[in-house]
Amino acid sequence: MLTASAAHGTIPAKVQRLRRLPCKGLHSCTNSHNGVPGKRQRFSVEALENQRRLLSTALLTAGDQRGARKPMRCNTAQKGFPAPDGIRWVPLACRAAYCPVCSDRKARGIFPALRRHVLETVGTEGGAIHLGLTMPAASGHLLQDLSELALEVRSAKNTPRWRQHFSKRIGVVMALEISQGQARRGHPHAHLFAFGPEENSVVDFLDWLIQRWVARKPSALMPQASMVTIGAKEAEWAPHLFYLLKGSHLDPAWDLEILLAAVGGLGAGKHLISFWGLAMGRWSRPSFARRPQAA
């Protein structure tokens, strides 16, 4: 097994040149149990509920009653579903893309099935990467910047190179996120988790995607690969995959202007998570993560 921290002689030169930074939100604990990230890498149910309440309060303070309404009502009502032992009552989710409770629930609904698929695909000879892409200086219109970023990243799968060479060899999970940048401005960015059964295909895809991005967006920040693993063990890539699935984590302490713009951008009906190539499966259907789950 080769990893990004292995001896330099075992890692392709093109991968060594990448700037590898730890992914924001992943803590020092890398222990996983049955593929689920360690406790320090996830929020407890109580913490998520508290975050939801703080976010609703912040939106109300900012005057966005419509944005606050969904998370305020999240889990306050229940719906009954037929079960062998009677009626099973489960909380009704608001399904807002900016609701921390619903984002976590959706990630946990998709993660187990997708994790098994990645595990089978990567095996012992394949690899996985986690790449971050950022557009040049933002225009100040967060929804517009988020839309342009989505179109630019997804244009890669419409190229002959992807269709003819990578679509049957590589699986990609792409997630759009919004954070508060260093200049206290909205910072839309994209995370890509790519995996494949062959080491060379994964490295070639990484090299091609970075070269294409730099050529099309020369003024943007250099793409950041926070994980490059070859023949990866599950404990190495599972936390990164779950991180993508959980979506944006809006902080109620952000500047209200940025918080309102982020809620507007995430609530605009954009497909924030998409699946390409070998990553396509039943989990890529919108209804998959919405199936009834016990409280």
Write out the chain in H/E/C secondary structure. CEECCCCHHHCCHHHHCCCCCCCCCCCCCCCEECCEECHHHCCCHHHHHHHHHHHHHHHHHCCCHHHHHHHHHCCCCEEEEEECCEEEEEECCCCCCCCHHHHHHHHHHHHHHHHHHHHHHHCCCCEEEEEEEECCCCCCCHHHHHHHHHHHHHHHHHCHHHHHHHCCCCEEEEEEEEEECCCCCEEEEEEEEEEECCHHHHHHHHHHHHHHHHHHCCCCCCCEEEEEEECCCHHHHHHHHHHHHCCCCCCCCCCHHHHHHHHHHHCCCCCCEEEEECCCCHHHCCCHHHCCCCC
pLDDT for position 288: 59
- The region, left, alpha or beta by phi > 0 then psi within -120 to 50, assigned to residue 240 is alpha
State residue 43's pLDDT score: 62
Nearest C-alpha neighbor of 94 from the set 109, 111, 77: 77
Per-residue pLDDT of the chain (295 residues), as tens digits, is 333 333 233 344 544 444 333 334 333 333 333 344 443 345 677 888 888 899 999 998 888 888 888 888 887 777 788 888 888 887 778 888 888 888 888 888 899 999 999 999 988 788 899 999 988 766 667 778 888 888 999 999 999 999 999 999 999 999 988 887 766 677 888 999 999 998 888 889 999 999 999 898 888 888 878 777 766 678 888 899 999 998 888 888 888 888 888 888 887 766 788 999 999 988 877 655 555 444 3
Radius of gyration of the chain (CA): 19
How far is it, in rounded angstroms, from Cα 95 to Cα 103? 8
Residues forming a β-bridge with 177: 189
Q: Which residues contact 233 (CB under 8 A, 6 or more apart)?
A: 1
Residue found under tokens 């309404």: 69
Q: What is the pTM of this model?
A: 0.79
Q: Tokens 């952000």 identify what position?
A: 254
Calculate the alpha carbon distances from 255 to 72, 125, 180 in Å.
20, 46, 9
d(CA 89, CA 263): 29
Domain segments of the chain as ranges: 2-24+35-43+108-290
Instruction: Give pLDDT, residue 230.
Output: 67
Residue 159: what pLDDT? 94
Tokens of 82: 């037929």
